[in-house]
């Protein structure tokens, strides 16, 4: 009985990263739904992002002080500059572009387009020289092919609509607004602008990943890093919203959908999701986390069609499928490269160990020879 209980506990412990990534995907779908509902209520999109980062700052700073108060490194000018870039690329700029595209198109559309992040990151890293193209290798070909498939999927998602696909016979429409339905199935011009904004959000997020790679080397505290990013992002988002939004009533929060949106997106979306994702990266690696990215598209599509009465079309399904296929091709190529690099490192370590073993084998003979010489010397001394 005890053995069976231990096996169940081990199984649950092994499924923890999977369950956490499923919860994170569902939470991401909730953020998109709340964005739509708050925008439908008339709340300024810039104010939403400002409040989201304020709530994220209020959540992450106490957590960082509680868990990492004894190991937080000192800040210098370089770290403050990188933190400012991190808050811009991963916070204020990325989120503002994303929510603008979300309102112009639909929650399903923006979620599917955001899966282009690995492909955009690969193109950016190749252009700045931080990653080799390796077109002659299978991994390099897979990354290039995956990037092209993702771009084709994004173009199909943007330019082709197709027939409507009905999933549910009954649904709940929380928007209660014909104009919003028209916005969800917007004109070709709005769809094109929304696509460009989403691509800009993907590019900003890809830049944030490269900035984070530099920050993590000099500032390894994950919670403090997230808190610093939220602080910088909140300052930038508040300044931008104050400059662009002149209506003071937009900043008023009551016990309504506006407060629920900013609290959920800040605490859950930017607080708990970052913590859970960071833990999964630490346990299973970044490739494991990236594999679950398409799950958020499915979660958003189901929630949006069921709750917001968003129309799902054939072009969206085909485009999202191609983007997901391109995503997995890029991840497969990256995984092959990481596996090859990990195999080369032990080989180098083994050669160094063999050299040390060879020295340790020859050294006893030298010691015996020296011992015999010393004994001969001792025998000669009495004479």
Task: Of 33, 98, 16, 37, give the one whose Cα is nearest residue 257.
Answer: 37
Q: Tokens 């498939």 sit at which residue?
A: 149
Cβ(106)–Cβ(310) below 8 Å: yes
Cβ(319)–Cβ(129) below 8 Å: no
The pLDDT value recorded for residue 175 is: 59
Q: How many helices (H) and strands (E) does the chain have?
A: 15, 2
The pLDDT value recorded for residue 373 is: 55
The pLDDT value recorded for residue 167 is: 66
Radius of gyration of the chain (CA): 27
Q: In the chain, which stretches have pLDDT less than 70?
A: 1-2, 130-131, 158, 167-187, 278, 281-282, 284-291, 293, 343-383
The pLDDT value recorded for residue 169 is: 58
- 266: Cβ–Cβ under 8 A, 6 or more apart, which residues? 51, 52, 53, 54, 55, 56, 58, 59
Write the pLDDT tens digit of every residue in 284-303: 666 566 667 677 777 777 77
Q: What share of the chain is helix, strand, coil (3-state, %, to 5)?
A: 85, 0, 15
Write the pLDDT tens digit of every residue in 21-38: 788 878 888 888 888 888
């Amino acid at each position: 009985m005890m053995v069976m209980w231990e096996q169940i506990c081990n199984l649950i412990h092994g499924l923890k990263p999977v369950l956490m990534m499923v919860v994170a995907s569902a939470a991401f779908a909730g953020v998109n739904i709340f964005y739509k509902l708050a925008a439908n209520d008339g709340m300024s999109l810039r104010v939403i992002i400002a409040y989201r980062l304020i709530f994220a700052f209020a959540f992450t700073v106490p957590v960082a002080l509680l868990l990492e108060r004894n190991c937080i490194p000192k800040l210098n000018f370089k770290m403050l500059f990188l933190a400012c870039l991190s808050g811009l690329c991963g916070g204020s700029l990325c989120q503002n572009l994303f929510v603008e595209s979300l309102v112009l198109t639909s929650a399903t559309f923006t979620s599917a387009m955001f899966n282009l992040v690995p492909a955009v990151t690969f193109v950016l890293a190749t252009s700045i020289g931080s990653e080799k193209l390796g077109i002659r290798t299978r991994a390099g070909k897979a990354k290039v092919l995956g990037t092209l498939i993702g771009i084709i999927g994004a173009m199909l998602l943007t330019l082709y609509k197709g027939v409507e696909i009905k999933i549910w016979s009954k649904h709940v429409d929380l928007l209660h607004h014909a104009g919003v339905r028209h916005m969800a199935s917007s004109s070709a011009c709005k769809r094109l602008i929304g696509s460009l904004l989403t691509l800009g959000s993907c590019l900003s997020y890809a830049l944030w990943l490269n900035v984070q790679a530099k920050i993590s080397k000099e500032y390894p505290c994950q919670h403090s890093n997230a808190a610093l990013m939220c602080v910088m992002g909140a300052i930038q988002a508040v300044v931008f919203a104050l400059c662009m939004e002149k209506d003071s009533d937009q900043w008023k929060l009551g016990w309504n959908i506006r407060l629920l949106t900013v609290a959920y997106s800040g605490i859950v979306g930017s607080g708990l999701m970052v913590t859970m994702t960071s833990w999964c990266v630490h346990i299973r690696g970044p490739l494991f986390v990236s594999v679950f990215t398409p799950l958020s598209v499915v979660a958003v599509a189901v929630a949006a069609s069921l709750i917001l009465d968003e129309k799902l079309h054939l072009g969206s399904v085909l485009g999202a499928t191609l983007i997901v296929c391109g995503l997995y091709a890029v991840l497969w190529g990256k995984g092959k490269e990481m596996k090859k690099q990990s195999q080369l490192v032990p080989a180098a370590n083994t050669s160094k160990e063999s050299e040390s073993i060879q020295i340790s084998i020859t050294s006893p003979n030298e010691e015996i020879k020296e011992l015999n010489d010393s004994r001969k010397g001792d025998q000669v001394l009495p004479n």
